[in-house]
Amino acid sequence: MTQTAGRFRFDLTATDGKARTGAISTPRGTIRTPAFMPVGTAATVKGMLPESVAATGADILLGNTYHLMLRPTAERIDRLGGLHRFMNWDKPILTDSGGFQVMSLAALRKLTEEGVTFKSHIDGSRHHLSPERSMEIQRLLGSDIVMCFDECPALPATDAEVAKSMRLSMRWAQRSRDAFGDRPGHALFGIQQGGVTQELRAESAEALCAIGFDGYAVGGLAVGEGQEAMFGVLDYAPDMLPQDKPRYLMGVGKPDDIVGAVKRGIDMMDCVLPSRSGRTGQAFTRHGVVNIKNARHQDDPRPLDEACGCPACRGYSRAYLHHVFRAGEMISGMLLTWHNLHYYQELMQGMRDAIAAGRFAAFEADFHAQRAEGDIPPL
Ligand SMILES: [Zn+2]
């Protein structure tokens, strides 16, 4: 092994406007950027075998600390060889810190300077999360990219509330950095907060850069502020973060959110949308969203998208996909999830190629023009 093998590294290979393409190297493999990370909440991307997720083109998955600490617990996963072994996924894994989901899912939360105590939404049992405990859990899971423990205020919030929460998160970022220690091959990302206020975003970025991280997330967006407000923040927030480190937009999003974020300098994203929508009968295509439950598909022998190479489009008609959805068959969610993840990964590959070729603006124009055409007319 050379001295640099096994290190975490980010190399930008091309930029086009603010859009960037490159690669994150980890001991578990390379992550091509801009990257979309499917979400494997409970140590599975629902309805997909890990090798199928990899076949869609995903280089990395996201796991949720909050869910895994409650069930089956980080200690149990550690005893069973870590999260990669446990879920049979040997490529990189990013885990969130648990902070956001404690705030959105857990009951009876008590927030102090030290951390958060809460009751599990599963069985009401009492738990505690702090920067130190979150770092310990993510280490037990064996996560390749670890996120700082942070706090995100519930919306609507005043500027004063957003500022207070952001400053607490910055103190927790320092504690996360101290607790993470030196772990070659593993990365720790800081999370910028500050809501939709430019001054607070700048203060947060300055605090994070002073601590120093392997990558930086733009947090506190995609929480109901709307696309216009989110793009408003993304017009300046990524520029406040170091050029030579990956930038991760958490919890985003719909295909047009993703294209707009990449245009503004984002390198990584995650979202439950392609898998969740697959289970509720919604397919993302070049021409927009197709609701497979709609009766217009019941006699249609054509695939969801004739240009798509996924198993759902190669082997099955809209009529079949409509039927299995209506019949409540498991294969419905499996096929639509596979198609959606394939569509998302093709979108990312298209953007990576366009940025490398210096034609991102043309790619974006085509993307919007195809959506404007709408779904193919019914037979
Ligand atoms: Zn397809």
Please give the backbone phi and psi of residue 313, each rounded to the nearest 5 degrees, phi first. -85, -30
Mean pLDDT of 192-196: 96
Beta strands in 267-311 (DSSP E): 268-271, 282-285, 288-291
**Average model confidence (pLDDT) across the chain:** 96
Does the active-site annotation cover 96?
Answer: yes
Strand-pairing partners, residue 288, are: 285
For residue 74 the two structure tokens come to 């980080």
Say whether pLDDT at 40 is over 80. Answer: yes
Residue environment code for 329-348, b if the CB has 16+ CB neighbours within 10 A, otherwise e: eeebbbbbbbbbbbbbbbbb
Ligand 1: centre distance to CA 30 (Å): 25
The CATH number of the structural domain formed by 9-271 is: 3.20.20.105
**What confidence score (pLDDT) does residue 153 get?**
83
Q: Which tokens hold the place of 346? A: 């093709």
- The pLDDT value given to residue 339: 98
Kindly give the distance from the C-alpha atom of residue 67 to the centroid of ligand 1, in angstroms, as a whole number.
30
For residue 32, which phi and psi values (nearest 5 degrees)? -75, 135
Distance 57 CA to ligand 1 centre (A): 13
Query: Does residue 2 register a pLDDT over 60?
Result: no
Rounded CA gap, 16 and 24, in Å?
Answer: 18
Q: Tell me, what's the pLDDT at 106?
A: 82
Q: What is the pLDDT of residues 49-66, one digit of tens each?
A: 999 999 999 999 999 999
Q: Which pLDDT score, from 0 to 100, does residue 67 have?
A: 96
CA 82 / ligand 1 centre spacing (Å): 33
Is 270 marked active-site?
A: yes
Supply the DSSP symbol for 7: -
How far, in Å, are 158, 172, 226, 243, 346 from residue 366 at the CA level? Answer: 39, 43, 23, 28, 14
Listed by start position, the domains of the chain span 9-271, 278-373
pLDDT per position as a tens digit, 253-266: 999 999 999 999 99
The pLDDT value recorded for residue 104 is: 85
pLDDT of 91 above 60: yes
Helix/strand/coil for 330: helix
Q: What is the mean pLDDT of residues 181-187?
A: 96
What lies within 8 Å, CB to CB, of 150 at 6+ separation is 97, 99, 100, 169, 172, 173, 191, 193, 219
Distance (Å) from CA 321 to ligand 1 centroid = 11
Q: In terms of C-beta density within 10 A (0-12 exposed, 13-18 middle, 19 or more buried), how is residue 289 classed?
A: middle
**Catalytic member of 16, 59, 150, 270:** 270
Give the rounded distance of the alpha carbon of 93 from its chain centre.
11
Using an 8 Å Cβ cutoff, are 244 and 209 in contact?
no
Tell me the average pLDDT across 156-160.
92
Per-residue pLDDT of 105-148, as tens digits, reads 888 889 999 999 999 989 999 999 999 999 999 999 999 999 99
Q: What pLDDT was estimated at residue 1?
A: 41
* Annotated active-site residue in 59, 96, 214, 375: 96
What pLDDT shows up at residue 154?
A: 79
pLDDT tens digits, 272-321: 999 999 999 999 999 999 999 999 999 999 999 999 999 999 999 999 99
Nearest to 295 by CA among 275, 311, 281: 281
| Mean pLDDT, residues 87-107 | 93
Lowest pLDDT segment from 72-76, 156-160, 317-321, 335-339:
156-160
